[in-house]
C-alpha cells in the first residue's frame, strides 16, 4: 500500500441496491478507492485482472451459494497479492472463508465496521470481528472434533468402515451381507470388532459417535 495513496479495491455484490449502498460508504472514505464493481463471479474475475486491486470485497452468495468461497480460492491461486474481505449476511461460512484465504469478514447488517476493516486488512492485519468471533471459535472446535473422530475411524479396517457406512445409510445386516458378497455372520463379526475397538455398547451409539464423519462419505 503506497503511503498517501488511497487503497484500491474491487467489489462483487449481486444485489444492485446493496452494491450502491456500499459504494456510497466507500466513496465517503478517503483512504479507499473503489476501482470496480461486479455483480457476478465472471465480472469479478475480469475486474480483478484489469485493475489488480490491493483489496477484494466479496459476497458469498452470487451465481451459486458458494461462489464467493470459490472466488477466495481463485484469488489465492491467481492473485495472492489481493487481500480479500468477505461481506455477507451468512454467518455459517466463517471458518471456511478464513481457511480459503479471507482476511476479514463483515456482516451486511454491520457495515459501520466495513471501512476500518478494509483499511486494517490492507495494512496486513487478519480481522475477526466480534460479531462472528464466537461463531468462529465454535466452528474451529467442531472441525477439531470432526478431525479427531476421523482419526479414530482409521482404527477400523477398510471392510469395517465399509460396513459402518452401510449401517449409517440404514441398511440391514442381511442386505449388507448380500451387497458385499459375505455371510451374515461375517458382517456380525466385523460389527462386534468395531464395537470392541471403539468401546461402544451398541451399533446405535457407534453411529452416533461417527455419524457426522460418515455423513460426508457415500456408502
Mark whether 124 and 171 lie in a shared domain.
no
Contact 56, 86 (CB under 8 A): no
Where among 137, 168, 192 does a domain terminate? 137
In a domain, 39, yes or no: yes
Q: pLDDT for 147-161, tens place per residue? A: 666 677 878 898 998
Write down the pTM of the prediction.
0.63
Mark whether 130 and 184 lie in a shared domain.
no
Q: pLDDT for 65-80, tens place per residue? A: 899 999 999 999 999 9
* Cα(202)–Cα(169) distance, integer angstroms: 16
The mean pLDDT of the chain is 87
Q: pLDDT for 200-214, tens place per residue? A: 899 999 888 887 777
Mark whether 70 and 176 lie in a shared domain.
no
CA gyration radius, the chain? 24
Q: pLDDT for 2-41, tens place per residue? A: 456 899 999 999 999 999 999 998 989 999 999 999 999 9
Print the domain residue range for 187.
Answer: 155-215
> Which CATH number fits the domain that encloses residue 194?
1.10.10.10
Contact 11, 36 (CB under 8 A): yes
Number of domains making up the chain = 2
Amino acid at each position: 500500500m503506497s503511503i498517501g495513496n488511497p487503497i484500491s479495491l474491487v467489489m462483487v455484490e449481486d444485489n444492485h441496491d446493496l452494491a450502491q449502498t456500499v459504494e456510497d460508504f466507500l466513496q465517503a472514505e478517503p483512504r479507499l478507492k473503489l476501482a470496480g464493481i461486479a455483480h457476478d463471479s465472471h465480472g469479478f474475475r475480469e475486474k480483478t485482472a484489469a485493475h489488480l486491486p490491493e483489496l477484494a470485497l466479496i459476497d458469498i452468495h452470487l451465481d451459486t451459494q458458494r461462489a464467493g468461497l470459490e472466488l477466495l480460492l481463485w484469488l489465492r491461486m491467481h492473485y495472492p497479492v489481493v487481500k480479500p474481505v468477505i461481506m455477507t449476511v451468512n454467518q455459517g461460512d466463517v471458518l471456511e472463508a478464513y481457511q480459503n484465504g479471507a482476511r476479514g469478514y463483515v456482516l451486511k447488517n454491520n457495515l459501520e465496521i466495513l471501512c476500518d476493516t478494509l483499511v486494517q486488512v490492507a495494512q496486513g492485519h487478519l480481522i475477526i470481528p466480534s460479531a462472528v468471533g464466537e461463531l468462529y471459535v465454535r466452528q474451529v472446535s467442531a472441525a477439531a472434533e470432526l478431525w479427531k473422530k476421523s482419526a479414530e475411524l482409521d482404527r477400523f479396517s477398510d471392510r469395517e468402515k465399509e460396513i459402518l457406512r452401510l449401517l449409517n445409510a440404514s441398511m440391514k445386516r442381511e442386505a449388507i451381507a448380500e451387497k458385499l458378497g459375505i455371510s451374515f455372520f461375517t458382517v456380525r463379526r466385523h460389527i462386534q470388532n468395531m464395537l470392541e475397538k471403539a468401546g461402544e455398547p451398541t451399533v446405535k451409539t457407534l453411529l452416533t459417535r461417527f455419524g457426522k464423519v460418515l455423513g460426508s462419505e457415500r456408502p
